[in-house]
Each structure stands twice: as structure tokens, then as C-alpha cells.
Structure 1
Amino acid sequence: MDHAPTVLERCRPAATPWPEDTDALARLADALGDAEVVREELACGAPLTRRERTERTWPAIATWLTHAEPFARQARAATPRPRAALDVAAPPRALPPSRPAPRR
């Protein structure tokens, strides 16, 4: 719940070979929103029993389990690629000899 919103925002299924993942990502975002409501209620001191909490959060968990593959695929596609290292064709040239600093 902490990192998924940011990852979902970065996903651009239309720009990947899997544009059909758009619906799965929308379902995941909705499920995340539902679970966040429960989390906020608990943080505000809402008296939810363990059973109520489970009943309200399990649909979100089931959605995430169902759509884990499209999410992982899109998250990998949204991950910035590291820049390639510069090729070193020749070693750097040595600096010219320096003169000693004048004494004062």
C-alpha cells in the first residue's frame, strides 16, 4: 500500500507491448483505494473487528493476487533504465608537469 500508488502512476500500458493491461491496472487502483479507506478508518480509531477488517480488505487482496502478473509486467516496463556507461576508448592523458608554487 505504500509503494503501489507511485508505481501505478508511472505505468503507461498503452506505451508497452501489453496495452490490454489497462483494465487490470484500473482494477488494482480501485482495490487500492478501497483498502486505503479501511486503513484511514483504522488510523482514525474506527472500531473495526478483525472480521470486519478482513471482510472489507479481502476483496482488495484478491484483486491484487489476481492481477499480480500484469502489474509486475507494467512495473518492470515503467522502471527507468540505467544510463549506459560511457565507453572509454583510450586512457586519460596525463597532466603536464607543474611548476612549484613560488615561496612567499
Structure 2
Amino acid sequence: MLDRCHPASSPWPQDTPALARLADAETLLEELVYGDPLPTQERNARTWPAIETWLTDSETFVRQARVSAPHQRTALAVSAPPRPLPATHPVHRR
């Protein structure tokens, strides 16, 4: 989702540094999850700064994610009631 956020083309171009910090935090978390196993204490010590970044900059991310999300298409108005299906004979299965 972070890859879809382009703050320069949004109403909040000043969000660029926050999104860069979030991308760095995400990279760190991926390395911790998918990289070589670490002792618990070291893993926790390296994880906490990434979590703090997400807690600090989460509102910025949500704002940018909303403006960057694909726009939903509106439902088409129904101009006429649906026509009934033609009557058919039931198909017997053996």
C-alpha cells in the first residue's frame, strides 16, 4: 500500500518524510520476519523503533492511503424493473 502513496501529487506533499520513515520501518520489519533468526532480546530491540514509527505516522499513512486508493465506481441507476425470466420446464436429474 505504501507503494501506491504519492504525497507529491496529493493535497499533503509535506507527508513525504513520514512515508519515507514508514517505508524504512516496513523494510526493517520484513528483514526481521524473513531474515536470519535473532535472539529474542535483539529482535525486540530492533522491532520497537519500527513500531514507534508506525504509531507516530499512522494518521499520515491513512490519509495518504485514502487519497491514493482506487476510486470506487458508483452503482448504475435502475431505469426499469427487471423482466421476469421465461418459464421453462424443470430439468430432471438422474
Q: Which residue of 2 aligns with 1:84?
A: 74
1:49 is displaced (CA, Å) by: 2.1
| Pair 1:70-2:60 in alignment | yes
Matched residue SS, 1:83: coil
| Pair 1:61-2:61 in alignment | no
| Pair 1:18-2:7 in alignment | no
Gaps of 5+ in 1: 1-6, 95-104
When Rg is computed on C-alpha atoms for both structures, the one with the higher figure is 1
Q: Which residue of 1 aligns with 2:29?
A: 35
| Pair 1:9-2:3 in alignment | yes
TM-score (norm 1): 0.70
List, as ranges, runs of 4+ consecutive aligned residues in structure 1 with deviation greater than 4 Å.
Answer: none
Percent of aligned pairs sharing the same letter: 54
